């Protein structure tokens, strides 16, 4: 089973995505902030995810206490390069409510898909993940 690392501080709304992923046979590891995401990725004892799904708007965390975080609105944009350093072979997908996230991510990671939560029902997310992982396997 593929492991999805889900980095999002909104646990309750993400429940439907988690249920859909598990129903489709995915393992899911939920993480609520940037510090926990970095700790998880850097810990060699943890299972490596097959894909990382992250929100663009996260609590700033200790590593991102700078004005560029824009009170959490850009934390995901700052977190992505930090995670990517440790996960060069793992695909990412951004799932967010913030419309400007697509523009922000296209400047730093043009190949990372950005989906709007409001436009993405749980099983559409599952389909997107399956497409991304199937391309990776080829």
Average pLDDT, the chain: 87
CB neighbours of residue 42 within 10 Å: 12
Count of domains observed in the chain? 1
pLDDT of 57 strictly over 60: yes
Domain of residue 99 covers 3-137
pLDDT tens digits for 86-116?
A: 999 999 999 988 787 778 888 888 899 999 9
pTM equals: 0.90
User: Residue 61: which CATH number?
Assistant: 3.40.50.2300
């Amino acid at each position: 089973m593929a492991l999805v690392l889900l980095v999002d501080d909104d646990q309750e709304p993400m429940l439907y995505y988690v249920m859909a992923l598990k129903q489709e046979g995915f393992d899911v590891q939920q993480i609520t902030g940037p510090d926990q995401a970095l700790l998880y990725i850097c810990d060699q004892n943890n299972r490596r995810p097959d894909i990382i799904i992250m929100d663009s708007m996260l609590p700033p965390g200790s590593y991102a206490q700078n004005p560029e975080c824009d009170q959490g609105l850009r934390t995901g944009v700052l977190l992505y390069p930090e995670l990517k350093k440790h996960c060069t072979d793992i695909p990412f997908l951004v799932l967010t409510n913030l419309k400007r996230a697509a523009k922000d991510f296209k400047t730093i990671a043009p190949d990372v898909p950005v989906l709007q939560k409001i436009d993405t029902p749980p099983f559409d997310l599952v389909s997107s993940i399956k497409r991304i992982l199937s391309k990776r396997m080829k």
